[in-house]
Structure 1
Amino acid sequence: MILTVTLNVALDKTYRVPEFTAGAVNRVEKMIPTAGGKGLNVARAVRAIGMPVKATGLIGGHTGRLIGDLLTEEGLNTDFLKAPIESRTCMNIIDATGRSTELLEGGNEVGEDTVSAFLEHFTRLASKADVVTLSGSALPGMPDDIYAQLTEIAGKAGTPVILDTSGEKLLKGIEAVPAVIKPNRQEIEHLMGKKDSSADELIDHCRAYVDAGVRYVVVSLGSEGALLMAKNGVWLGKPPKLHTVNTVGSGDSMVAAIAVGLQKGDGSEAILRRAIAVSAANTLTETTGSIRAEDVEAIWNQVQISRLL
């Protein structure tokens, strides 16, 4: 079973407002509510691939109950800690041209008791998982080393961790030596303190994490594919040209594919090929995580894998 963690779950509300105008009264044509969060996107993608998955995190209040109901309707297997918070709501306003305006709440602040309760909750779940994924932001009040603590707990249970976050939480998390880190180019460049880095500069920086014990560093490059660095080499994977419908959640789909690869015991090239194929397949459907097996199969052999080192 793959366990996905979302520490800052949200009720995502998409508003269709054809004539949206700032500073005016706007009539909503349609509102679509979904349970949001990067870890939930990972869980959806794992399920779409056909592997068992469980999603965890923290939810609370009236909004938390609605999030739980939406996940039940989806049929997603979950085990959330109910916390003394009101789960956040995030809004995405889309006009007739497809232009998006987002309003993102930060989430309620939590105290040490809630953090400790979740660590205990996670400890129980991590011991039963084959792979753990840690994705996205954390609730205000959680320490910068929260992902490092979760990685260490999973490590004691012998469960490999895939870490997909940014900033200080990524930096602290790397110190706990997860099995995989999956930043995008901008997140790695933020740690490097440098923009517009060359591929060689990215590789040199990321190989230091491999030397420190991280099994795989996978840097997603958007439409250009992804780099994978391991002790036994460096590879670049590129997807074929596709008619993209929706790119939201492609990074999360890549995390899902890597988790499946770890669970199956795949090697470096196979992990990268699956990551590219599943991520690309996610762009072919409107709904995030609605990956079709036939799309993955069609893309699989079209992925170009080049060994760089």
Structure 2
Amino acid sequence: MSQEPWVCVVAPTSILMVEIERPEDAFDGDDSRAEIHVHRGGQGLWVATMAHSLGARVTVCGPFGGETGTILRQISSTAGLEISAIEYAEGSAALVHDRRSGERQEVARMPAGPLRRHETDQLFGAALVTGMDADVCVLTGAQPPEVLAPDFFGRLAHDLLVGETILVADLSGEAALRVAEVGPAVLKMAHDEVIEAGLADDDSVSSLRAAAAQLVEGGVGTMVISRADQPTLVVRPNGAWLVRTPPLSSVDHRGAGDSMTAGIAVGIGRGEPVLDAVRLGAAAGTLNITRRGLGTGSREEIERFTTQVTIEELDS
């Protein structure tokens, strides 16, 4: 593996995010001025952005349609991401938020629509070929889930593994279960997603560990379960660990889990041991909450911050 791996990110849903902010020098009651920021968003693009920040070559495979899709492709390419775009009749999703009050208020939302048969086939082909060529392929979910059937993720994961692709999946619901059946190198889920999928009874470490162990026995190489502000749980065939990070102040928690996924994928792509890759991911995710730019960060700062991440092995 090269020190700067090639990461393919399968991104079924990308979101154009427009955020209205209050200028730093505005005084109380002054609503006559505003700063308007345009960002690329959605799980796949947040993973891709952080992976690029960590030095990886990144190709995003996903549907981009309409005016919003055109803008997303442009700002993603300008930021250094390679885009393998599938034409999308429905148009890419968009969100408008007003944060001038200090709280995020949703002004307007345009959700993504389901992919049609031809679009689904195009996405499958692009993701399969690019994923096989890349050092690591990351599968991210659709939002809402109706954009793609769960079977899409299971079939794609199966075929990527036939090509001996290193597969990292960050999924929930039925899509996660379908991919787990074919045994990705890493499957990451949030603790509430594990419970909602019926794999664990509660959010205790023992219950989540038992659920993760069952999936590992079924073929998943490593299960990573994020637990909000609690230590992340990692389960492998040879043991289980808790990954702890300092409790930093949060500006925006969104994108933290996706930044973690990106760090894991980049670390594995560099040829690092899995726990070292998880350490990199934990550092990326933790520092991301201190920033307003989701999925962004400094490679040097993130790699230095890994020294603040502790990994504790659990008793068998």
TM-score normalized by the length of structure 1: 0.89
Unaligned runs of 5+ in 1: 19-25
Deviation at 1:198, TM superposition (A): 1.2
Deviation at 1:30, TM superposition (A): 3.4
Q: Does 1:46 align with 2:51?
A: yes
Match of 1:303 among 299, 303, 309: 309
Deviations 1:80-120 (A, max 9, x none): 12233322212223241324337543312322222112212
Query: How many residues align structurally?
Result: 302
Deviation at 1:306, TM superposition (A): 0.5
Contact 2:52 2:80 in 1 (8 A): no
Q: Give the corresponding residue for 2:276.
A: 270
Q: Does 1:291 align with 2:303?
A: no
Determine helix, strand or coil for the equivalent of 1:80.
Answer: strand
Contact 1:227 1:235 in 2 (8 A): yes
Q: Give the corresponding residue for 1:187.
A: 193
Match of 1:164 among 129, 145, 170: 170
Contact 2:19 2:96 in 1 (8 A): yes
Root mean square deviation, CA, Å? 2.2
Q: Map 1:122-271; keep pairs closer than 5 Å.
A: 122-137=127-142, 140=146, 142-192=148-198, 196-271=202-277
TM-score normalized by the length of structure 2: 0.88
Determine helix, strand or coil for the equivalent of 1:154.
Answer: helix
Identify if the C-alpha distance between structure 1 residues 8 and 275 changes in structure 2 by more than 3 Å, giving closer, same or farther.
same
Worse overlay, 288-297 or 9-18: 9-18
Q: Give the corresponding residue for 2:114.
A: 109
User: How far apart in 1 are the matches of 2:40 and 2:136?
Assistant: 22
- Letter paired with 1:174: A
Deviations 1:217-272 (A, max 9, x none): 00112222311100111010100232333322110111011101221232243122
Identify if the C-alpha distance between structure 1 residues 104 and 154 changes in structure 2 by more than 3 Å, giving closer, same or farther.
farther
Deviation at 1:77, TM superposition (A): 1.9
User: How far apart in 2 are the matches of 1:16 and 1:40?
Assistant: 22
Contact 1:240 1:299 in 2 (8 A): no
Contact 1:15 1:28 in 2 (8 A): no
Match of 1:10 among 10, 15, 31: 15
Identify if the C-alpha distance between structure 1 residues 169 and 106 changes in structure 2 by more than 3 Å, giving closer, same or farther.
farther
- Letter paired with 1:76: L
Unaligned runs of 5+ in 2: 1-5, 24-30
Deviation at 1:204, TM superposition (A): 0.5
User: How far apart in 1 are the matches of 2:143 and 2:180?
Assistant: 16
Worse overlay, 234-243 or 283-292: 283-292
